[in-house]
């Protein structure tokens, strides 16, 4: 895996999420684009960097089946209900430990929690900025808060292979606090 292919995978996944979160409406894209950048890209980079901190080889890889499912579901629901449903499992950070033959639940828990924590931090900042500013920048901040809170909540669901399952398996208290904060942020945004 090269940096170039990782960047291509991130860009393709970003473009699909931009279509979905903007509900396939070009007028929403300028507001949603920064939100997707912070929500998706920061989330995946947080996983990757924490994994690398632990000495693992880590990079983002798209999941073509997930991309196709997301687009099909989005288009079909947009046509039938007027609003695109979002399936956000388009890829993941793949982690390799070539010299380690055991499972490290602590490292796995922190790596898994890093993405949702990045989303929670950005959602909090976005919510505060949206309260301070109106107009174009206020709307960008609101979308940023909403999408980051949603992505944190979605990823903390305790369902394999989502982050929440790995965090819960590692530490119930961290999972409960993270899930509670993500749920609260999503509901006040």
For residue 92, which phi and psi values (nearest 5 degrees)? -160, 165
44 classed as catalytic: yes
- The one catalytic residue in 6, 8, 44, 103 is 44
State how far the alpha carbon of 35 is from the alpha carbons of 2, 92, 102, 115, 129, in Å: 26, 19, 37, 15, 13
Residue 145 three-state SS: helix
Q: Is-contact 84 77, C-beta < 8 A?
A: yes
Query: Nearest Cα to 89, choosing from 163, 171, 168?
Result: 163
Q: Is-contact 122 144, C-beta < 8 A?
A: yes
Which positions are catalytic?
44
């Amino acid at each position: 895996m090269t940096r170039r292919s990782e960047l291509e995978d991130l860009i393709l996944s970003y473009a699909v999420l931009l279509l979905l979160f903007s509900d396939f409406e070009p007028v929403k894209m300028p507001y949603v684009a920064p939100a997707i950048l912070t929500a998706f890209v920061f989330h995946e980079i947080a996983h990757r960097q924490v994994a690398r901190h632990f000495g693992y080889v880590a990079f983002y890889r798209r999941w073509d089946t997930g991309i196709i499912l997301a687009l099909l579901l989005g288009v079909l629901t947009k046509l039938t209900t007027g609003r695109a449903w979002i399936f956000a499992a388009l890829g993941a950070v793949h982690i390799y430990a070539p010299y380690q033959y055991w499972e490290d639940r602590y490292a796995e828990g922190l790596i898994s929690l890093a993405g949702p924590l990045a989303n929670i931090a950005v959602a909090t900042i976005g919510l505060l900025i949206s309260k301070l500013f109106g107009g174009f920048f206020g709307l960008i901040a609101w979308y940023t808060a909403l999408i980051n809170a949603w992505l944190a909540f979605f990823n903390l669901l305790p369902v394999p292979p989502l982050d929440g399952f790995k965090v819960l398996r590692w530490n119930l208290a961290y999972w409960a606090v993270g899930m509670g904060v993500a749920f609260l942020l999503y509901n006040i945004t």
